[in-house]
Structure 1
Amino acid sequence: MPRIFNEQNVLFEPKQSPVPEFSWHTSRKLAEMAGSKHLLFEIRSLDPGKYSYPYHFHRSAEEIFVILSGRAMLRTPSGFQELREGDTVFFESGPEGAHQLFNHTEAPCRYLDLRTNLGIDIVEYPDSGKINILPYEEVYMADKVDYFAGEDNVADKWK
C-alpha cells in the first residue's frame, strides 16, 4: 500500500548534539511507518548556520539527498559545492561517498535523506577517526591495524 508523507502528517523533532554546531530537525520513523525493509528515509531540516552529521561515509549503504527547499553547502572528497532546491545527490558507499552539509544561509534547508538498509552498516568519520556500527550506534575510535595485531602468544590462551 502506498504511503504519502507531507507537511500535514510528518512530525519533526529537534536534534541537538553536545557540539553546538550540529543541529537539525528530523521526521520521525518514516521508513518504519511505511513498513520499509530495505530503505531508510527521513525528511530533515538543517538549521541556518549549522552542520549536518559529522563528515562521514558508509561502508554498506548508498545514500541520496533530495533538496526540497532552501540551500546548503555540500562537502565531499572533491571539495565544496552549493546545493539548491530540486538538486538530487547520490553518495556511493566507501570513501568516495563521504559527505557533510552546512547551511550557509539564513533559512532552513529541508531535504529527503534516503539510504539503503542491508542490516549492518559501518560508518567512518575521516575527520575524527571514529567508526559507528549501525543500527546499534556503537561508536569506536581506533587506529587501523594489521589483522593479526595483538594475536601473538596464542598458545598461552589455550593453557
Structure 2
Amino acid sequence: MSEIKHANIKVLEASHKCEHEDYEYDRRKFVPFGDAKHTLVSVYEVPPMKSPYPYHYHHKNEETFYIISGEGILKTPTGERNVTAGDFLFFPTGPEGAHKLTNCSKTEKLVYIDFDVVHDIDIAVYPDSDKIGVWGMGINKVYPQSADVPYYDGE
C-alpha cells in the first residue's frame, strides 16, 4: 500500500466465521493481508460466551489488541485475567506471548481492534491441542505436531 487509508468502521464489510461451537466472530478488515508490507488491522466482534481463536502463540508475528467495548477473559501462560473496554493487550512472539481471548458476557458482544505486525511467513503453535499452523506465502495449513516425519521421508 503506497497511500494513506481512511475508512469509517460502518463501511468496513464484515465477514462471519463460525466453524466450531466455541469459536465465532465477525471481522472487519481495515488493512487486510497483502495491502501493507508488515501490518494487518481488523476489528473483531465476538458473540457472548465465544472466542475468536484457540489458545496460541506466534513465532514471527506480534499482536496488539485494543478493547473497544465489552468484557473478556484473557488466558495467558501466567493465568487468566479480566479485560474490559479501554484495555490494550500486547502479545510478543514465542510461548510467553500465548493467548486466548473469550467474551465472558452472556448478552453483549466483545469488540476489539487487532493490530498485527506480519511477516511473509509465520508459525503459530496451539499448546492446548498440540497443533502447529503455517501461515503466509500461499500456505494456510494446520497440522498435529505428532505428524512429524523424517526429513528424507518420501524422497
One-letter amino acid of the structure 1 residue matched with residue 36 of structure 2: S
Please, what is the CA RMSD of the aligned residues? 2.3
Unaligned runs of at least 5 residues, structure 1: none
Measure the CA separation in 1 of the matches of 2:151 and 2:88.
46
Is 1:7 the counterpart of 2:9 in the alignment?
A: yes
Q: With structure 1 as the length reference, what TM-score do the two structures score?
A: 0.85
Measure the CA separation in 2 of the matches of 1:6 and 1:20.
31
CA shift, 1:58, in A, is 0.3
Q: Which 4+ residue blocks in structure 1 deviate beyond 3 angstroms?
A: 32-35, 149-152
Q: Deviations over 1:67-108 (max 9, x none)?
A: 011111110001111111111000000000000011111200
Is 1:143 the counterpart of 2:146 in the alignment?
A: yes
CA gap of 1:150–1:80, structure 2 versus 1, over 3 A, is: same
Contact 2:33 2:40 in 1 (8 A): no
CA gap of 1:34–1:129, structure 2 versus 1, over 3 A, is: closer
One-letter amino acid of the structure 2 residue matched with residue 4 of structure 1: H
Unaligned runs of at least 5 residues, structure 2: none
Higher strand share: 2
Measure the CA separation in 2 of the matches of 1:98 and 1:22.
17
One-letter amino acid of the structure 2 residue matched with residue 80 of structure 1: E
Contact 1:67 1:85 in 2 (8 A): yes
Is 1:114 the counterpart of 2:115 in the alignment?
A: yes
Q: With structure 2 as the length reference, what TM-score do the two structures score?
A: 0.87
